[in-house]
Amino acid sequence: MTKKITIALDCMGGDKSPDIVVKGACQVAKENKNIHFIFYGDLDLVNPLLEKYSILKDRYSLIHTTENISSEDKPSVALRRGTKSSMRLAINSVKDGQSDAIVSAGNTGALMAMSKIVLRPLAAVDRPAIVTYVPNQKQTATVMLDMGANIDCNSEVLYQFAVMGHAFAKTVLKIENPKIGLLNVGSEDLKGSDAVKNAAALIRESDIADSFYGYVEGDDIAKGTVDVVVTDGFTGNITLKAIEGTAKMISSYLKEGLGGSLLAKIGYLLSSTSLKRVFKRIDPRLYNGAMLVGLNGVVVKSHGSTDATGFANAIKVAISLVKDKINDTIIREVKSSGLDIEEE
């Protein structure tokens, strides 16, 4: 019998919550009967939405709180004043074993800060990172980290990202021997900062050396040159936003061009199946859901501006991570990599 998985949902985080949270949960509930949800949010706002959907009947709990973390709140303020917020209570539920994972579309900095305090980083992990994956030309996906949690990273932190990204690609994307690349301004050994050069040296001296491709550039992400791209959070966040913006621009241009003349409309009708496939492949909603990797618990960050379909995908990511026991894999990878790790 398949084990029931419980997902904690922060109903008050994000631009379109709680509506997208409840609708996203409904989409997932239709596809998976072994999922239970714990919704954290204002009963007056959330309960009327829950009562609309019979698919959720007897499959959720609602924990009332009127407190929430805004997108403008600094992490330090959220830590001090947000102990009863929907985000904090949802994180606490993972710590207490009431849920298997949390999904939130709320303030990224606050989510990371609270998760680090409540769940604590895995042993031998200095800084948890935000990891996600994006489509590439090989019709697979490229794992990327860090996506914004750590602005400045030394070589040791980048090395740890490489180990965790390697484990993530093996677990989530089922790649037997993921190739790792360090994002750089060029592929030559002489280029790059000292942190990047020293990180490359650490990887080459580790047990994942055979998986190390070397330096990669920005266009290698879309090419699928490697399976895992490692960089600092400053560069990673800008890169991800640029990729998403480009995908939206291409989709907009295609829709505009195909909706013009009569010939264009006829052409669209003739090629609609292929075009729908293209739109789906570059739809950022279907890649929504970034794990805060390196924590003693599964935490998934959804884009704050996503819709119900995007939030549903973030929930699916969380379910996959729980099923695949991602942290067990990371711990094994960290141990085999040669990093000093002690059981807590």
Q: What confidence score (pLDDT) does residue 258 get?
A: 65
What is the pLDDT of the chain when averaged over all its residues? 86
How does pLDDT run across 171-211, given as a tens digit for each residue? 888 888 899 999 999 888 778 889 999 999 999 988 889 99
How does pLDDT run across 56-70, given as a tens digit for each residue? 988 999 999 999 999
Question: Bigger pLDDT: 277 or 183?
Answer: 183
What pLDDT band is residue 286 in, cutting at 50, 70 and 90? Answer: confident
3-state helix/strand/coil string of the chain: CCCCEEEEEECCCCCCCCHHHHHHHHHHHHHCCCEEEEEEECHHHHHHHHCCCHHHCCCEEEEECCCCCCCCCCHHHHHHHCCCCHHHHHHHHHHCCCCCEEEECCCHHHHHHHHHHHHCECCCCCCCEEEEEEECCCCCEEEEECCCCCCCCCHHHHHHHHHHHHHHHHHHCCCCCCCEEEECCCCCCCCCCHHHHHHHHHHHCCCCHHHEEEEECHHHHHHCCCCEEECCHHHHHHHHHHHHHHHHHHHHHHHHHHCCCHHHHHHHHHHHHHHHHHHHHCCHHHHCCEEEECECCEEEECCCCCCHHHHHHHHHHHHHHHHCCHHHHHHHHHHHHCCCCCCC
Question: Bigger pLDDT: 94 or 188?
Answer: 94
How does pLDDT run across 21-50, given as a tens digit for each residue? 999 999 999 998 899 999 999 999 999 999
Examine residue 283 and say whether the peptide bond preceding it is cis (omega within 30 degrees of 0): no
Q: What confidence score (pLDDT) does residue 145 get?
A: 92
Q: With 90 as the cut, is the pLDDT of residue 143 above it?
A: yes
The count of C-alpha atoms lying within 13 angstroms of the C-alpha of 117, restricted to the half-sphere facing its C-beta, is 18
Q: With 50 as the cut, is the pLDDT of residue 341 above it?
A: no
Domains of the chain with bracketed CATH: 1-124+294-325 (3.40.718.10), 126-286 (3.40.718.10)
Q: How far is CA 4 from the centre of its chain?
A: 22
Q: With 50 as the cut, is the pLDDT of residue 233 above it?
A: yes
Q: With 80 as the cut, is the pLDDT of residue 138 above it?
A: yes
Percent pLDDT > 70 in the chain is: 87
Q: With 50 as the cut, is the pLDDT of residue 325 above it?
A: yes
Q: With 50 as the cut, is the pLDDT of residue 116 above it?
A: yes
Of 58-67, 103-112, 276-285, 318-327, give the lowest mean pLDDT range: 276-285
CA 86/CA 111 separation, integer angstroms: 11
Q: What confidence score (pLDDT) does residue 151 get?
A: 87
Q: With 90 as the cut, is the pLDDT of residue 170 above it?
A: no
Predicted TM-score of the model (pTM): 0.85
Q: What confidence score (pLDDT) does residue 344 get?
A: 39
Q: What confidence score (pLDDT) does residue 340 get?
A: 53
